[in-house]
Amino acid sequence: MRILFVASLHHPEALQAARQATPPGTPPPLFPPSMGQHMWDKALRRRGHETAVFYRNIPVLGVQGGRERFRHGLTPTKILNGLLNRLPPHLNPDFQLRNRRLMEQAAAFRPDVLWVVGDNRVIYPTTLSAIKAETRCQIVYSTGVSPIVFAVANERQAARLYDLVLVNDFYHGIQWIELGAKRMECLPISACDPDFHHPYDLTEAERQVYRCDIAFVGTLVPDHLYSRRVGALEALRPFDLGIWSVHDTPPSLRPQVRGQALGEDMLDVLSAAKMTINVHGDFMRYGGNMRLFEAAGSGVFQIADDLPGTRQWFQSGETIILFDTLDDLCTKARYYLDHDAEREALAGRAREYVYAHHTYDQRMARFESLL
């Protein structure tokens, strides 16, 4: 198949570095290794598909500003974005040019599948409809968040054009069906790549930088989207807790912040820790975030919140440890920190399990069958 991604490009400097490191004769990556789409693209290419990408967040007019670091309170960027969001997208001249360029690229590439990645604030429903009519492609929409909480008008209005919506959280999929999507599949768009998600050999100096008993890598703001996550980490402050985030952090957790970690740096952090804590955002009530599978692939012991999806994809007590209350979390964390053999055995089983059942190759094989 010919698959055209419509996605935002984050961390462009990481993509540039990855392209410079690409061996001669090898197609350069479409996304930086820190983005999940990079893993989808690799798996699709391995399976013989031809892929291309349209970066919808790169302005035609003006200068690319990159991705804002999420912070507490008002910032000039937040104020500017708030004002721009009040402007109907179809009146934004730069959006108009980007939509035109997507239609030109689709007309030249002739995709069988137009794969639109979530958080689409730029591409109009009329553009998707025109591409679908001209190329007879299927439109796939993939997202890890709730349309009730996050989706903008562009996304919701285009729902009836989506032939297939791929979601991490089953409940989000139901919401997309209610908005008019033809079909949804709770197929976690996150998984692991054994070539990338594995324990990393660290030097002693690196271990000194990353070493901690409990590691967390992820987003903690804004509070109203990550209150459960913040509460769990606050409960773990008496432990040797290390936090890495590319965004701002609540004042209560700043003493535990060690820095930022993306891509291989994230895996270095997990490789140096005794365990990692994984609590889903408040908008995920079924479960299935990226870290669930990435942490298992990296070979670190994982303790996570008890959600239906976590129980569906992992075996509680065998490949993951689940908690329900904060007291339960602290009790289990202390127990497994004190029992190295049990902790390491469970981490080893989790790694073997995701390599057997939750790789990106397997996700893309299921994707093919759905189409």
Q: What is the pLDDT of residue 72?
A: 64
Distances (CA, A) of 217 to 14, 120, 204, 276, 358: 18, 25, 21, 8, 21
- CA nearest 222: which of 327, 64, 83, 68? 68
pLDDT at 354 over 60: yes
Give the tokens for residue 241. Answer: 């807790």
Per-residue pLDDT, averaged over 290-309, amounts to 97
pTM over 0.85: yes
**Is a pLDDT exceeding 80 seen at residue 289?**
yes
All domains of the chain in start order, with CATH: 2-186 (3.40.50.11190), 204-357 (3.40.50.2000)
If you average pLDDT over residues 163-180, what whole number do you get? 96
pLDDT band of 66, cuts 50, 70, 90: very low
Task: Give the pLDDT of residue 188.
Answer: 86
Sort 348 into a burial class: Cβ within 10 Å, 0-12 / 13-18 / 19+: middle
Q: How confident is the model at residue 68 (pLDDT cuts 50, 70, 90)?
A: low
Torsion of CA 42, 44, 47, 51, to 10 degrees: -100
Residue type, 354: V
pLDDT band at 130 (very low <50, low <70, confident <90, very high): very high
Percent above pLDDT 90 for the chain? 84
Residue 284: predicted pLDDT: 95
257-266: average pLDDT: 93
| Contact present, 193 and 39 (Cβ < 8 Å) | yes
Q: Give the pLDDT band (50/70/90) at residue 61.
A: confident
Among 148, 206, 158, which Cα is nearest to 6's? 158
pLDDT at position 138 over 90:
yes
Residues 217 and 279: their CA atoms lie apart, in Å, by 11
Asked whether the predicted pLDDT for residue 67 surpasses 80, the reply is no
Backbone angles phi, psi at 72, to 5 degrees: -70, 150
pLDDT score of 78: 63
Residues 206-231 have a mean pLDDT of 96
DSSP class of residue 353 equals H
Single-letter amino acid code for the residue at 91? L
DSSP letter string, 107-150: HHH--SEEEEES---SS-HHHHHHHHHHH--EEEEEESS-TTTT
pLDDT of residue 65: 46
Q: Give the pLDDT band (50/70/90) at residue 189.
A: confident
Question: Average of pLDDT values for 155-175?
Answer: 96
Residue 2's pLDDT band, with cuts at 50, 70 and 90, is: very high
